[in-house]
Amino acid sequence: MSVRRRVGVLISGRGSNMMALVEAAKAPDYPAKIVLVLSNKPEAAGLAWARANGVPAQAIDAKPFGPDRRAHERALDAALREAGVEVVALAGYMRVLTPWFVDAWAGRMINIHPSLLPLYPGLHTHARAIAAGDAEAGCTVHLVTQGVDEGPVLAQACVPILAGDDEDVLAARVLEVEHKLYPEALAEFCRA
Ligand code: GRF
């Protein structure tokens, strides 16, 4: 089998997309190996799950760094490099990255966003799609560039918005397709 790309996943909470990536990477022909999970929040539920599944996981708490975002990111960057990470996958990482970090990983960092970009960058994507009367919602995997949720689109998946949907119901429907799309998109990215 060809060499697997070494992937680091950044989370802030639940980590269900990270779990989907780790599960997918258990397949013998998957072109990536999740070698490190990092969280900016020590209480992130995904950290314990990662460790229980044999993936090194570390919290690098942003709080002690105060407003020095760059210093926090230097610590993230050092941990990623120490682990030999080649590709960074953001999976519910809830801090906006500085241009320094984005540049350091340019072309090697991807994100999953719960909307059909370029529609609804930022937060509250599902509520905004419902309020707009959209017939479809979905998720996007994209390359990370300086503008938040603005990088080139790598893959998208759609779900219908049904009468009576509220934000939570729609979020759950989208999340289900996120868990399929992200492993597929990461695999394609790593094979390219
Ligand atoms: C997902 O909806 C993802 O698209 C967005 O944040 C959420 C993270 O969920 N970026 P999880 O932590 O992966 O469960």
Asked if the model's pLDDT at residue 30 lies above 70, the reply is yes
- Ligand 1 atom nearest residue 90's Cα: 10
- Ligand 1 atom nearest residue 113's Cα: 4
**pLDDT, averaged across the chain:** 97
Distance from Cα 187 to the centre of ligand 1, integer Å: 18
For the Cβ of 138 lying below 6 angstroms from any atom of ligand 1, the answer is no
Concerning whether 126 is annotated as a catalytic residue, the answer is no
Residue 166: per-residue pLDDT: 98
- Ligand 1 atom nearest residue 93's Cα: 10
Residue 173: per-residue pLDDT: 98
Asked if the model's pLDDT at residue 116 lies above 80, the reply is yes
Of 19, 77, 10, the residue nearest 50 (C-alpha): 19
How many residues are listed for the chain in this entry? Answer: 192
Query: How far is the C-alpha of 32 from the C-alpha of 22, rounded, in Å?
Result: 9
Q: What is the mean pLDDT of residues 128-135?
A: 98
> Which position among 113, 126, 142, 179 bears the catalytic label?
113
Residue 190: per-residue pLDDT: 98
Asked if the model's pLDDT at residue 44 lies above 80, the reply is yes
CA distances from 131 to 42, 113, 161 (A): 34, 18, 11
Query: How far is the C-alpha of 73 from the C-alpha of 78, rounded, in Å?
Result: 8
Asked if the model's pLDDT at residue 1 lies above 90, the reply is no
Q: What is the mean pLDDT of residues 107-113?
A: 98
For the Cβ of 17 lying below 6 angstroms from any atom of ligand 1, the answer is yes
Q: Out of 175, 179, 182, give the residue to mutate to test ligand 1, the one with the largest number of ligand atoms within 8 Å of its CB.
A: 175
pLDDT digits (tens, 9 = 90+) for 154-164: 999 999 999 99
E strands, 16-165, in order: 32-39, 57-59, 87-90, 109-113, 136-143, 153-160
pLDDT digits (tens, 9 = 90+) for 54-73: 999 999 999 999 999 999 99
Q: For residue 15, what are its two tokens? A: 């980590």
